[in-house]
């Protein structure tokens, strides 16, 4: 909980990326900081939970270079508005909100003005450019926060704010037709959520992953088949989604596509892709598409869809002081579904 020093200055606890390095070396450090005040158009959020995303792991280990020193990670934030800045009008004190990865866009570039704000030339991201949710409080621009469906509790709602949104965008970018054949490579937080959207649309989902627990979860959620990460699926695919940050899976995923199929790569980081053979991997109009961030419309659509399909969110909660442990378990495939830091409770 926030503490008050002898000088009467209110402070909070926050995790920061002290020095990026192997996750087994605990690169996050727990520090005490002043509780920030919201500016114009901003809200201050008392953090209840924060999902633990693979992007946080890439940031902690240095695969994703920090944009600022000692940044606080975390961009799947569920919390309560406890103070509003001047000019703020969307939320009131006491509202439950979600704070996602996309923290700000310029609003004037050619991408923002053509409904492609995920490609904004001057964006800012929560937990990378601005401090995120591995803390007791954070500041968010109110226009980039979401009201949350009452169907999901604080732990369940957190993974929807990145894993859910990015998975949803990846599915749409893959152009998989409803009732089609979809391959999903890797089955963690994003995959187990988007699989439920696809299955609700009548899609046959084939999950390819090395994790045995993830295969069991996939079958429990209604997948048509499961197999190893590089195994061929039982039928040609109309589309495929790659969530594992493993470039060597790109060739087998492309080879599994039927003619005209698209592979959507959903991660912000990917290891090197081996050489591709044109006839074997790309001919017959097979395509590869990367997925970059998300628009606010993606977020609104995913949250509405999650409530509509009664999405089941599999979570593994961790105490706030276990942030390094949560990232370490994620790195070593010891998390089934989504890891979530429990920072505070509403009681």
86 and 178 belong to one structural domain: no
22 and 42 belong to one structural domain: yes
pLDDT tens-place string over residues 294-339: 999 999 999 999 999 999 999 999 999 999 999 999 999 999 999 9
Q: What is the pLDDT of residue 6?
A: 37
In a domain, 132, yes or no: yes
What's the predicted TM-score (pTM) here? 0.93
Nearest C-alpha neighbor of 75 from the set 161, 164, 169 = 161
In a domain, 24, yes or no: yes
Number of domains in the chain: 2
56 and 24 belong to one structural domain: yes
In a domain, 301, yes or no: no
Which residues of the chain, if any, have pLDDT below 50? 3-7
CATH for 180: 3.40.50.720
124 and 204 belong to one structural domain: no
Q: Are 332 and 213 in contact (CB under 8 A)?
A: no
Q: What is the pLDDT of residue 1?
A: 54
252 and 109 belong to one structural domain: no
Q: What is the pLDDT of residue 178?
A: 84
Q: What is the pLDDT of residue 7?
A: 46
- As a whole number of angstroms, the distance between CA 336 and CA 133 comes to 21
152 and 19 belong to one structural domain: yes
Q: What is the pLDDT of residue 22?
A: 96
The count of other CB atoms within 10 Å of the CB of residue 107 is 11
182 and 239 belong to one structural domain: yes
3-state secondary structure (DSSP) of residue 303: helix
CATH for 10: 3.90.180.10
Nearest C-alpha neighbor of 344 from the set 164, 158, 163, 193 = 158
Q: Identify the domain containing residue 31 by its residue range.
A: 3-161+314-342
């Amino acid at each position: 909980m926030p503490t008050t020093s002898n000088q009467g200055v209110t402070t909070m606890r926050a995790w920061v990326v002290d020095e990026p390095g192997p996750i087994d070396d605990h690169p996050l450090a727990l520090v005490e900081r002043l509780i920030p005040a919201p500016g114009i158009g901003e809200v201050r959020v008392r953090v209840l939970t924060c999902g633990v995303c693979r992007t946080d792991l890439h940031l902690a280990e240095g695969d994703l270079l920090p944009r600022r020193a000692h940044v606080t990670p975390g961009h799947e934030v569920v919390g309560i508005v406890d103070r509003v800045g001047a000019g703020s009008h969307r939320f009131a004190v006491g509202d439950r909100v979600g704070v996602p990865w996309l923290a700000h866009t310029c609003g004037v570039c050619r991408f923002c003005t053509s409904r492609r704000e995920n490609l904004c030339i001057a964006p800012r991201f929560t937990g990378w450019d601005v401090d995120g949710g591995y803390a007791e409080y954070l500041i968010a621009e109110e226009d980039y926060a979401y009201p949350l469906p009452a169907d999901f509790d604080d732990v369940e709602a957190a993974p929807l704010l990145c894993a859910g949104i990015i998975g949803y965008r990846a599915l749409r970018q893959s152009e998989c037709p409803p009732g089609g054949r979809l391959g999903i490579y890797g089955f963690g937080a994003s995959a187990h959520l988007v699989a439920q959207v696809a299955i609700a649309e009548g899609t046959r989902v084939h999950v390819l992953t090395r994790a045995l627990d993830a295969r069991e979860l996939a079958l429990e959620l209604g997948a048509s088949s499961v197999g190893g990460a590089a195994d061929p699926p039982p039928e040609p695919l109309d589309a495929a989604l790659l969530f594992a940050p493993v470039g060597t899976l790109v060739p087998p995923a492309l080879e599994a596509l039927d003619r005209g199929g698209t592979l959507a790569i959903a991660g912000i980081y990917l290891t090197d892709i081996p050489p591709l053979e044109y006839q074997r991997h790309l001919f017959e109009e097979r395509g590869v598409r990367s997925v970059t961030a998300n628009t606010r419309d993606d977020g609104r659509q995913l949250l509405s869809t999650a409530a509509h399909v009664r999405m089941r969110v599999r979570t593994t909660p961790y105490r706030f002081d276990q942030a390094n442990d949560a990232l370490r378990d994620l790195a070593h495939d010891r998390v089934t579904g989504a890891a979530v830091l429990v920072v505070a409770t509403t009681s």
